[in-house]
Amino acid sequence: MLIDDLLKVLPPDRVVTDPDVLASFAHDEAEWAPHTLPAAMVRPRGTLDVQATVQQCVKHGAPLVTRGAGTGLSGGANAVEGCVLLALDQLNAIKEIDPVERLAVVEPGVVNDDLRAACAEQNLWYPPDPASSPWSTIGGNVATNAGGVCCVKYGVTRDYVLGMEVVTGTGEIVRLGRRTHKGVAGYDLTGLMVGSEGTLGVITEITVWLRTKRAPERTVAGYFDSIVAAGEAAAAVAAAGVVPSALELVDRHCLRAVDAWKNMGLSDEADVVLLGRTDTAGEDEATVMLACFEQAGATWAAMSTDQEEADALFSARRLAYPALERLGPVLTEDICVPTNKIAEMLGRIEATAKRHDILIANLAHVGDGNLHPLLITPLDDESARQRAEAAFTDIINDALALGGTVTAEHGVGLLKRQGLVQELSPAVLDMHRAVKKALDPHGILNPGKVFAS
C-alpha cells in the first residue's frame, strides 16, 4: 500500500492520515472549486523527504498535490482522488540573506511578510506583495507568479526569482538558475517553473534577488461617484507617463464591508476610492496623479500629508477581501486588461452584475489593469450560485474580447481551465502539454489542474 510504503521511507511524524486533519488541508480559498480528501498528507522537513514522497507516488502511480499556506483562489492546491497532499509549511527557513549580492535563499514555506521583515533589518526589500502577504508563502507565490500592490512599478514574483532547487516528476533533485543577476546559459527553466502551479516539479528552495530599501512614498487619494470614472483616472495616469509605486481601486461594496467590520467610516465619504502612491523624489509625480484624478471627475482628491491616514486607506484595501467573506461565499476573478480598456471593462462588470442580479464588488491593481471582481452570494442559495458562475464566465469572455487575460496572478488552477482554452490557441496548448509530459512523464504532479483535458 502507498501509505505503508511512505511510512517505510519517512519518519512517522511526517505522514498524516487523520481524516479531520486531512479535511482541514484539502482545499484552498477558491469558492466552489471541487476537492476531496487526500489518501494521505506528507509534511516534509527537507528536500530528501520530498524526494522520497515523489518516488513513492511514481511507484504507486499516485497523484501528488503540493500545498503552501492554502491562500490560493483558483483551486490549484485542492486535493484530488487518491492523492498524496504535500504540505510544505514546515519548510520555513530563511537560509541566507546576502546584502552584498542582494539576494535571499529561502525554503518554500517562508511567509512573504516574514521575508520582507527580515530583509528590512538589513535595509533590503523584497517587492512582491500580494494582499495575502501576511499569510501566503514564497513557495505559493512562486507557484502562481503572484503580484500585488507594488507590481505596477516593480514587477511580479518571476522578476525576482534567480534560481531554485526542484524535485522533478521522476524524483530527481535538480538546481535551476543561478545566484548572479545576469545569465543566459540554456533555457530559462527557472522562469518556466514560476507560475507552473505545481504541475512541473516540487520547489524545495528558492533564491530571490532583493532591492535596496526604497524611499518613503507619497499618497494621493481620490473619491469618485462612478467606478468607470475611477478607471478613466487610472488610464489617464498611465497616459501621462507616470509609473506609480501603487495604484489601487476599492469600490463602494468593499468600503461598506470594511466599515461594517472595522468602523472606518470610508463609505460615508465615497462610492469609489482610488489610491495612488509614488516613491520618486519630489512631488512632480504626485502632482500629476492628483491632476489626473481631478480631471477624470473626482469629487474629492488630495495629496496626503498624514502618513497614518494614508496607511489606513491602504489597510482598508487589504482588509476588503476578508470583510467581504463575512457577507457570504466569494467567487474571485483575476482578469487583466490593457490600461486603455480599464474603464470599459469596469463598465462591463457593472452591466454583468445587473444582468445576472449578482452583487459584484471590485478591487483592482488598477495601475496595470489587473481587476479583481468579487462575486458575492448568500450562503446556501443555489440559484445565486448559478447566476454567479454565469457572471464569472461573462467576465472572462469580456476580458478576452478586450485583449486581456483570464488570470494575472492567481493562476489557472481549476476555475480558469476553460478560460485558458479560450485564451491560448490549440498549437500553443499543445506546446504546454508537451512541456508537462517531458517534465512529468508519469503524470503525477497536480493532475487535473491548469489544463481542461
* Residue-by-residue DSSP string for 46-91: SHHHHHHHHHHHHHHT--EEEESSS--SSSTT---TTPEEEE-TT-
Cell numbers 448559478 correspond to what residue? 386
| Rounded alpha-carbon distances, angstroms, from residue 327 to 349, 357, 429 | 20, 16, 38
Could you tell me the three cell numbers for 98?
Answer: 546576502
| Rounded alpha-carbon distances, angstroms, from residue 167 to 90, 174, 176, 387 | 17, 6, 11, 42
Q: Quick one: pLDDT at residue 453?
A: 64
Q: Quick one: pLDDT at residue 34?
A: 96
Q: Quick one: pLDDT at residue 268?
A: 73
Q: Quick one: pLDDT at residue 283?
A: 85
Spatial separation of the C-alpha atoms in residues 101 and 106, rounded to whole Å: 15
Pure H helices in 187-306: 189-193, 227-239, 252-262, 284-295
Could you tell me the three cell numbers for 16?
Answer: 498524516
Q: Quick one: pLDDT at residue 433?
A: 96
Q: Give 92-102 pLDDT, tens digit per residue.
A: 999 999 999 99
Spatial separation of the C-alpha atoms in residues 315 and 310, rounded to whole Å: 9
Structural domains in the chain plus CATH codes: 2-87 (3.30.43.10), 94-212 (3.30.465.10), 215-326 (3.30.70.2190), 328-361+375-441 (no CATH)
The pLDDT averaged over each successive group of 10 residues in the chain (453 residues) is 96 97 97 96 98 98 97 97 98 98 98 98 96 95 95 96 98 97 94 98 98 92 95 96 95 91 80 94 92 96 82 84 91 96 97 97 96 95 96 98 97 97 97 97 97 77
Spatial separation of the C-alpha atoms in residues 127 and 398, rounded to whole Å: 31
C-alpha dihedral, 212 to 213 to 215 to 220, nearest 10°: 110
Q: How many CB atoms lie within 10 A of CB 175?
A: 12
**Residues 229-254: b if buried by 16+ CB within 10 A, e if exposed:** bbbbbbbbbbeeebebbbbbbbbbbb
Residue 116 is inside which H or E element, if any? helix 112-120
Say if residue 125 is exposed, middle or buried (CB neighbours under 10 Å; 0-12, 13-18, 19+): middle
Spatial separation of the C-alpha atoms in residues 66 and 50, rounded to whole Å: 10
Spatial separation of the C-alpha atoms in residues 165 and 174, rounded to whole Å: 6
- For 144, which DSSP code? H
DSSP string, 277-306: EE-SSSSHHHHHHHHHHHHTT-SEEEE---
